[in-house]
Amino acid sequence: MSTSQKRLFDFSESDSSKDFFSELEEGDLCVAEVVFNKPLVSVYHYAVPDELRESLQSGKRVAVPFGKGNRREIGFCVAVHYAMQPKQRLKSISEVVDRQPLVSEKMLTLTRWIADEYLCGWGQVLESAIPRAVKQGAGQKQRTYFRIDEAKRNNVQIGKLSAKQKQVWKVLSSSKEPMTLEELAERAGCSSGPIHSLRNKGAIQSFRKVDDSDREDDRSFVIELPDYALNEDQEKVLKKIVGIVESQKHKTILLRGVTGSGKTEVYIRAIQEVANYGKQAIVLVPEISLTPQTIRRFRSRLDSVAVLHSHLSDSERHAEWRKIASGLVQVVVGARSAVFAPTKNLGMIIIDEEHETSFKQDTTPRYHAKQVARKRAEIENIPLILGSATPTLESWQRVQNRDDLLLTLPNRVNNLPLPPVVLVDVRNDQYISKGAAIGRILATAIRNSLEHDGQIILFLNMRGFTPALWCSACGKSMKCPSCDITLTWHKDRGVALCHVCNFHTDAVRACLECGHKGIRHLGIGTQKLEQEVRARFPEYQCLRMDSDAMKKRGSHHRALEGFRKVNISILLGTQMIAKGLDFPNVTLVGVINSDWLLNQPDFRASERTFQLIAQVAGRTGRGTKGGRVFVQTMNPTDPAIRFAAEHDFLSFAKHELIHRRENRSPPFSRVIRIVFRGENEAATRTAAETNSTRLKESIGSMFPDLKILGPAPAPISRVKKFYRFHLQLYFPPDVPLGELGNRIRESLQPGKDADFVIDVDPVDLR
């Protein structure tokens, strides 16, 4: 977690180290270039002893003596070549760690580019690109199975068994296959107790073997889905894509298709095309849409699909990785880091919902999967498809400039209309002014939909019960002692919780500041919304989906299956339900509060509001019953909200780009944000100021087009006891990062009181 960007420029300590780009003179000595998982700019040179020469290859890890004390460090070998022994003798590699290279030459090129682009160490990128499980060679998972011991079958005295044990015996006797504990317990309707006691009696046997089954939730969902004839728009788009695949050149395509226009269908056909050439595709989706629903669609139409998401165990991830590397997989579907999947012969990369911020990693290396995918597609000479109903303005500007190709799916499939969106001005609503979440108009609409057997989705982006506890005496709201964040009341647990660091306290009767006993609860979270919905519509089933309610593995999936089966009428929740869900029976979507994003101190606030309303609206009107959207707002004239209600992306983009151009914000500039952090406020401020001054002096005259903001306290000025100050550089997008990046790295020095984080093209400005 320590992201201190400490550059060890001190070459005396780094034995053989040379500058990143320089080469040793050509000669007879075998030399390995090695990088480490540290924020280092340099590569290090080591001599390769004769006995290791055979086994060493770039892409493998090596153990080497490092630093003055020659402590053992593991690094990645990124190149091997022959050179003269330099004046200062090179140290030697002590061991080659891996039997097979962990990454290919192309992947080395890509990761090197990421290090330069995001101003971090090459070794840090490699460390993050290769799953831990792969580095450790995590073994496959073993599970315990039970079966009848055939030799003793006739010795078992059934009459002496308990009822539960009999049941276990019966189930297992009639099963051809051995069963796991879970399966057996479920089928026999008992706990694990009777199973274990049967085994202890010797009546049944247990043994361990590798679990080679697919994950349960994957397997149970391979059902055939219809193979549609594409409609005219889809055909046109596919034809263009196929043309580009055939040309074997790199091209980035922005596929703008409204929600439900059949983009996924086009992806699947494009992947089939690529597979016909014996190549593989990578599909990146936001983690949140890696639902069984999505995976099922790919599995039912393609022969071999590998899935990479964050819930895989180490051994599962390792198995998927190996399957991909062996070339047996047609398509890899995964979140951000799947952009590094070790495909043998990559033919295409697709990024669905390209506007999603989760494609940016928020720890070092802070790469954006979209930029990495673009670079990888360039290196591999293959197309990159970016799909979205609401593209980012960066992507949109690229097609305006004709850097990328625009393809459009303007209509929903089967001539379904986009749902009408009603903006509900709740400034004077009689329910809302009394503290309710659901205003009068939305309440009537819900009642109406329910009476016509429709299902309903209610969206509210605030988990917990009430987001603020406010002291009526001193006027302060209760804050986390470690963060500049108000505490959220979680009624179910009886605690006030910090959503940043998880601090919680049940001491909420009196104000922490002044001791007054008149604490008031302000605002509404999903838990309170749930209570209100249950009270108002008691005869209907309601389900809440947010990260609190969905902690258990598989709960997400079970909840959605419940909703699909229509016994749940109202689904309410956070972002979790805003994206990707496709339920034809949903006839009403309500956005409880569309304004919260608008007030964020971020130049993308409008864009995010537009995207959110468009995405949420996309969840309805997908069946024959039609659907409507009600958006509660206190800003009914705001352009982002108005254009979203009219499904008018083009006008929104035009409007917003004018502002961006005026303010020199992206896409008309790029941003580098530097956050200084330290536990002492004054020292952190001083560190921010001295570093910023040095940086400004270094780059000011060289890049006169730079706009520099700060240093200033970050919008969240304290997190986990660390004070935060930030500096933002806005620079023209055509300025190459190279020289600017070098100067930034050279000017910034971590001190003992504060370190810093460099974020290139940040998506989170808090």
Cβ 390 to ligand ADP shortest distance, Å: 12
Q: Of the two residues 265 and 530, which places its CB atom closer to ligand ADP in the complex?
A: 265
723 binds, among ligand ADP, Zn ion, none (CB under 5 to 8 A by kind): none
- Binding to ligand ADP by CB under 6 A, coded x per residue (else -) over 210-249, reads ------------------x-xx--x---------------
Q: Can residue 642 be called a binding residue for ligand ADP (CB under 6 A)?
A: no
Indicate which of Zn ion, ligand ADP, none lies near residue 500 (CB less than 5 to 8 Å, by partner kind). Zn ion
The correct pick among 264, 397, 466, 574 for binding ligand ADP (CB under 6 A) is 264
What does the block give as tokens for 458? 């209610």
User: Please, which of residues 26-55 interact with ligand ADP by CB under 6 A?
Assistant: none
CA gap 473, 345 in Å, rounded: 67
Nearer to Zn ion, 318 or 677 (CB): 677
Binding pattern for the stretch 554-593 against ligand ADP, x by CB under 6 A and - elsewhere: ----------------------------x-----------
**Considering beta carbons, is residue 148 or 480 the nearer one to Zn ion?**
480
Amino acid at 602: D
Does the protein bind ligand ADP through residue 260 (CB under 6 A)? yes
**Minimum separation from the CB atom of position 555 to ligand ADP (A):** 24
414 touching ligand ADP, by CB under 6 A: yes
CB atoms within 10 A of CB 2: 9
Q: How far apart (Å, rounded) are the C-alpha atoms in residues 581 and 536? A: 25
Name the residue among 237, 641, 255, 569 with its Cα closest to residue 421. 641
Residue (416 or 501) nearer to Zn ion, CB: 501
For residue 611, state whether it binds ligand ADP (rule: CB under 6 A): no
- Assess whether the previous peptide bond of 194 is cis (omega < 30° from 0): no
The number of beta carbons lying within 10 Å of the beta carbon of residue 325 is 17
Provide the minimum distance between the beta carbon of 261 and ligand ADP in the complex, in angstroms, as a whole number: 4
Nearest C-alpha neighbor of 609 from the set 627, 633, 589: 633
Q: Give the number of residues in contact with ligand ADP, rule: CB under 6 A.
A: 15
With CB under 5 to 8 Å by kind, the binding choice for 391 among Zn ion, ligand ADP, none is: none
The partner in contact with residue 692, picked from Zn ion, ligand ADP, none with C-beta cut-offs of 5 to 8 angstroms by kind, is: none
Query: Can you tell me which of 257, 365, 383, 573 binds ligand ADP, judged by CB under 6 A?
Result: 257
Please tell me whether residue 744 adopts helix, strand or coil conformation: helix
Question: Could you tell me the two tokens for 742?
Answer: 């070098």
In the sheet that holds 504-505, the strands lie side by side as 488-490, 495-497, 504-505
Find, among 176, 334, 153, 349, the residue nearest to 267 by Cα.
349
> Applying CB under 6 A, does 620 fall inside the site for ligand ADP?
no
- For Zn ion, the binding residues (CB under 5 A) are 480, 482-483, 498, 500-501, 503
Q: Helix or strand or coil: residue 532?
A: helix
From 413, 414, 441, select the one nearest 427 (Cα to Cα). 441
Residue 261 found at the interface with ligand ADP (CB under 6 A): yes
Q: Which is nearer to Zn ion, 484 or 561 (CB)?
A: 484
CA distances from 512 to 69, 500, 545, 584, 648 (A): 51, 19, 31, 49, 48
User: CA-CA-CA-CA torsion for 651, 655, 657, 658, nearest 10 degrees?
Assistant: 140
Closest CA to 644 of 586, 573, 595: 595
232 membership: H or E segment, kind and range: helix 232-247
What is d(CA 124, CA 48) in angstroms, rounded to the nearest whole number? 23
Q: Which of 98, 217, 265, 353 binds ligand ADP (CB under 6 A)?
A: 265
Tell me whether residue 88 or residue 414 sits nearer to ligand ADP (CB atom). Answer: 414
As measured in angstroms, the least distance from the Cβ of 713 to Zn ion is: 17
Q: How far apart are CA 766 and CA 764, in angstroms?
A: 6
Q: How far is the CB of 481 from ligand ADP (least distance, A)?
A: 44
**Touching ligand ADP, residues 372-391 (CB under 6 A):** none
Q: Does 334 bind ligand ADP (CB under 6 A)?
A: no
- Identify which range of 258-266, 340-348, 470-478, 632-640 contacts ligand ADP by CB under 6 A: 258-266
**Which H or E run contains 187?**
helix 181-188
Q: Residue type for 197, please?
A: S
Q: Tell me, what DSSP letter sits at residue 339?
A: G
**Residue 260 interacting entry, from Zn ion, ligand ADP, none, C-beta within 5 to 8 Å by type:** ligand ADP
Minimum distance, C-beta of residue 613 to ligand ADP, in the bound complex (Å): 16
Structure tokens at 286: 């936001």
Give contact residues for ligand ADP (rule: CB under 6 A).
228, 230-231, 234, 257, 259-265, 413-414, 582
